[in-house]
Structure 1
Amino acid sequence: MGVSVHQPGTGDNTSAPPRDLVIDLVRFFCLTLVVVGHCMMTSPVLHPDGTVTTENTLVEQGWFVPVIWIFMVMPIFFVAGGITGLQSWRRLQARGGTGFEFAQIRLLRLIRPATALLAAMFAGLWGALLLGVHPQVVALLATGAGMPLWFLATYLAAQLNIPLLARLHARAPWLTFGGLAALVVTVDCLRGALPLLAYANLVFLWCAVQQLGFLVADGQLARLSRSALVGLIAGSNVLLGVLTGVALYSGSMLENLNPPTFCLLLLGVSQTAALQLFRPVLNWVASARWVQAIVAIAGRRSMTIYLWHLPLLAAMSGLLLLTGLPKPASGTAEWWWARPLVLLSVVVLLLPVLAIFGRLEDRPTASVHTRRRPAAAVVTAVVVVFVPVADAVFNGLTLAMIGGGTACFALAVLLLGRVPDRVPAAVLTGVAEGVPEGHDSGGPLPETPLSASVEP
């Protein structure tokens, strides 16, 4: 997820199109809002009998429901991932790459930073137990600190489906989106009778939202008039209001998040249309040099920031419980006034983490002579990664699961190796003329105004 601006003509003929500054800005906004929101939510409480509980202060506020309706940013983040992912896949195809190579790249880019996090969490929490910290406190820290991993798993699952969904999108874009939406609604209808089936929407829902990014990348929404985009925004929100108003779904988008429901798909439609409608304004903001500088600094290490901010917040909160420092009650004026200090502390703690672990986000590219990994190794790595993730979804995040997850993620990294940086001359020749013979790109690359943040 690097943010360095590509200079055309400095490499091969398969160079990425110019960065879409709007998508970079949107990702930065989403990341910032998530970090700020988590700093306003977490509130551990030490009771007189020695037990520890956590309170979600924001959820307890009466104004939270309408606010989270507006600021639930997960859908737009998956839309952005769909735009960049589709372009990355097409570009890799144009260089002669395969779906297994795409999966290898995506897995490595996401699980290398996560492996370091899990290892540090396991060592830190195990050390806390040895130092006599109550197991209940350790369990709470493990649960809170590991929350970002659910996003990593769902985002990875959606990204790994891009080669298949891109092929379906090339044949019937709206039918593909409609089919995924129908699967989401079907799962929602059956979740009362089959509660475990609701977790299928971790794949169906986010793949459907990601498909909205495909439509943006191919210019499907750019063909709509401003009035049509306004109609999409209004219509999706009205339908969302009806569904929550008659109590078919909760009015809190946070409750609709895990497992996700059709409500988040409606939010995704609204946010995607808004992205297209306000693109000229957003592009003007994103073009400012100082904005580009800030976005570039954060964007180069966005995954590390996302994965580490909550564990650092949880560790800091846990340590404060062991000190004699005053601890204002959750939701009081003193508690709210302390939030900027908490946010600043998390940012300061992130600086050494970024210096030590940030490079794990860089693409692990080997020499041109490196052999590609067998398909069996990539498939095995996918299974190995999702085994602990599935365990966490159904049984909760525990210290044992964190240790097992560390081992599984490390094994997956070994299985995947490094990405061969090979661009055969025949492929280069083909790219200069268009798509290489024998490779279905699923459609032309988007025009420059919609070419966003291509990663491989």
Structure 2
Amino acid sequence: MERPRHVDTPVGQAVAPGRDPAIDLVRFACLFLVVAAHCMMVSPVLHPDGTVTTHNTLMEQDWFTPVVWVLMIVPLFFVMGGVTGLQSWRRLQARGGTAYGFAQLRLLRLVRPAMALLAIMWAALWAALLLGVHPQVIQLMTAGAAMPLWFLAAYLTAQLSIPLLARCHGAAPRLTFTALVALIITVDSLRGALPVIAYLNLAFVWCAVQQLGFFIADGGFQHRTRTWLMGVMISSNLLLGLLTGVGIYPGNMVVNINPPNLCLLLLGVSQTATIQLLRGAITWLGGVTWVRTCIAVAGRRSMTVYLWHLPLLVGMSAILLLTDFPKPSPETAEWWWGRIPVFLAVAALLVPVAVFLGRLEDRPTAASHARGPSRAAVVTAAVVVFVPVVDAALNGLTLALLGGGAACFALAVLLLGRVPTPVPPPSQHPSGKVENAMGSGLPEPGLRANLEA
């Protein structure tokens, strides 16, 4: 009897396993901490002349500098994005997808929710301006919407680089990571003489942190001992303490994040090792029924929650300034206790927003009869998206740029068009007949493009 042939799966194209409850729980926890931290930062004050100023109460606390080493979980977002992004790319490759198709899917997933945010904010703020709200208040609220956009720019840059970095990772993972670290250090060394060059690390730092997720996805930490992981965690924090202690970098990680520098990579290394140390407990907790349900509900609308929580917080705070609602002074005990109802109010406002606008995060259905956009269209869409985002990150967000950004994002969505069904390469039947890997030339019913972030 003829022995069945073993068909080797090409490196980097293996179909990834199912969802990891530990990864999902970590991403949910990161999102929760971001919303909670912003609720403790925003503290607007209305002056008699009608102007408004804001105080970042949390940043003014002496105890916050060491605590933010633990609470600065932005690197974890990129680590988790590296895990799920690499798995999504490999699944798309296995179905015959291309890098341009991956870019199309990633852009659609991130741009569509952001388009709605910019358009609604532009319309609402223009209406408030026409109703007589002070222009300074309008600008303050507009600037509040800019904070999520820097993350969108950095995250898109890292995600769109996944096909290229995955190829480099497959060929030489350690060399690829070392090269990114060298680029980070080079930019940090030159930023004093050329301050604008520091923004290159929006790509280099977050791509390097994302690469840590590649190592997790490939099982690079799976067989490491607890002693090795604790050594990595301790060493990265000691090096971070040394660099900030001698004054090479600021000790406040919030200051280090814009633009990012080597400190954020060291935090990412420490957090990656910590997650691996606690993986058993995190996996168990993520498997608890009610926890899994909460994660599933919030996870499907994570980008909507991230984009909208700060504008809703700023808008709610601005409205409360115009009422007789008690407004305790920042840093008082009443103000700190008041952060609990503020958080609950923001969470309540996010529910209808997620219900009505969260659908923009849904995976676009793959259509076998639709031809995907050309490579030029995908590249043009990426440029159209990055122009207003980079402008906002460098020069601040204005009401005019808010409207222009919404128009650019809408144009990008039109350019990206429909999602075609990836057709896997044909496989050889034992009888010698060539057939499609899905069993026929027709697409699998209900096939949907994978867009997990």
TM-score (norm 1): 0.90
Q: Are residues 1:455 and 2:437 paired?
A: no
8 Å CA contact retained: 1:232, 1:273: yes
Structure 2 match to 1:265: 265
Query: For residues 295-334 of structure 1, what are the structure 2 equivalents within 5 Å?
Result: 295-334=295-334
Give the gaps of 5 or more residues in structure 1.
1-13, 431-435, 438-452
Post-superposition shift, 1:222?
Answer: 1.9
Post-superposition shift, 1:454?
Answer: 7.5
CA distance in 2, matches of 1:428, 1:355: 46
8 Å CA contact retained: 1:249, 1:256: yes
8 Å CA contact retained: 2:372, 2:419: yes
8 Å CA contact retained: 1:19, 1:454: no
Post-superposition shift, 1:223?
Answer: 3.2
**Helix, strand or coil at the partner of 2:256:** coil
Structure 1 match to 2:402: 402
Deviation digits for residues 422-450 of structure 1 (CA, Å, limit 9, x no counterpart):
434727989xxxxx99xxxxxxxxxxxxx
Structure 2 match to 1:21: 21
**Helix, strand or coil at the partner of 2:415:** helix
Query: For residues 106-255 of structure 1, what are the structure 2 equivalents within 5 Å?
Result: 106-255=106-255
Post-superposition shift, 1:172?
Answer: 0.6
CA distance in 2, matches of 1:166, 1:377: 23
8 Å CA contact retained: 1:309, 1:346: yes
8 Å CA contact retained: 2:96, 2:425: no
Deviation digits for residues 117-145 of structure 1 (CA, Å, limit 9, x no counterpart):
00011001111100110110000000012
Structure 2 match to 1:357: 357
CA distance in 1, matches of 2:384, 2:87: 27
8 Å CA contact retained: 2:15, 2:87: no
CA distance in 2, matches of 1:93, 1:81: 18
Query: For residues 332-343 of structure 1, what are the structure 2 equivalents within 5 Å?
Result: 332-343=332-343
CA distance in 2, matches of 1:429, 1:375: 33
Structure 2 match to 1:100: 100
CA distance in 2, matches of 1:295, 1:68: 24
Post-superposition shift, 1:397?
Answer: 0.8
**Helix, strand or coil at the partner of 1:147:** helix
CA distance in 2, matches of 1:241, 1:284: 33
Q: Which amino acid aligns with 1:351?
A: V
Post-superposition shift, 1:455?
Answer: 2.8
Post-superposition shift, 1:368?
Answer: 1.3
8 Å CA contact retained: 1:95, 1:428: no
Post-superposition shift, 1:265?
Answer: 0.3
8 Å CA contact retained: 2:44, 2:55: yes
Moved more, 81-90 or 417-426: 417-426
Deviation digits for residues 245-283 of structure 1 (CA, Å, limit 9, x no counterpart):
111111111000110010000000001111112111111
Deviation digits for residues 86-139 of structure 1 (CA, Å, limit 9, x no counterpart):
111111111111000000000000000000000011001111100110110000
8 Å CA contact retained: 1:17, 1:454: no
TM-score (norm 2): 0.91
Deviation digits for residues 349-375 of structure 1 (CA, Å, limit 9, x no counterpart):
111111110110001124211112100
Deviation digits for residues 255-314 of structure 1 (CA, Å, limit 9, x no counterpart):
001100100000000011111121111111111111101111111111101100100001
Cα distance change on mapping 1:35 and 1:307 into 2, 3 Å: same
CA distance in 1, matches of 2:402, 2:79: 30
Deviation digits for residues 173-213 of structure 1 (CA, Å, limit 9, x no counterpart):
01100110111111111111000001100000000000000
CA distance in 2, matches of 1:75, 1:32: 15
Deviation digits for residues 401-437 of structure 1 (CA, Å, limit 9, x no counterpart):
101000000000000012113434727989xxxxx99
Query: For residues 429-444 of structure 1, what are the structure 2 equivalents within 5 Å?
Result: none
**Helix, strand or coil at the partner of 1:56:** coil
8 Å CA contact retained: 1:79, 1:268: yes
**Helix, strand or coil at the partner of 1:221:** coil
Give the gaps of 5 or more residues in structure 2.
1-13, 431-435, 438-449
**Helix, strand or coil at the partner of 2:55:** strand
CA distance in 1, matches of 2:33, 2:142: 23
**Helix, strand or coil at the partner of 1:138:** helix
Moved more, 28-37 or 419-428: 419-428
Q: How many residues align?
A: 424
Structure 1 match to 2:80: 80
8 Å CA contact retained: 2:198, 2:259: yes
Q: What value does the CA root-mean-square deviation take over the aligned residues?
A: 2.0
Q: Which amino acid aligns with 1:321?
A: L
Larger radius of gyration: 2
Post-superposition shift, 1:235?
Answer: 0.2
Q: Are residues 1:52 and 2:52 paired?
A: yes
CA distance in 1, matches of 2:18, 2:89: 16
CA distance in 1, matches of 2:49, 2:452: 52
Structure 2 match to 1:64: 64
8 Å CA contact retained: 2:82, 2:210: yes
Deviation digits for residues 51-108 of structure 1 (CA, Å, limit 9, x no counterpart):
2111101001111011111111011110000011111111111111100000000000
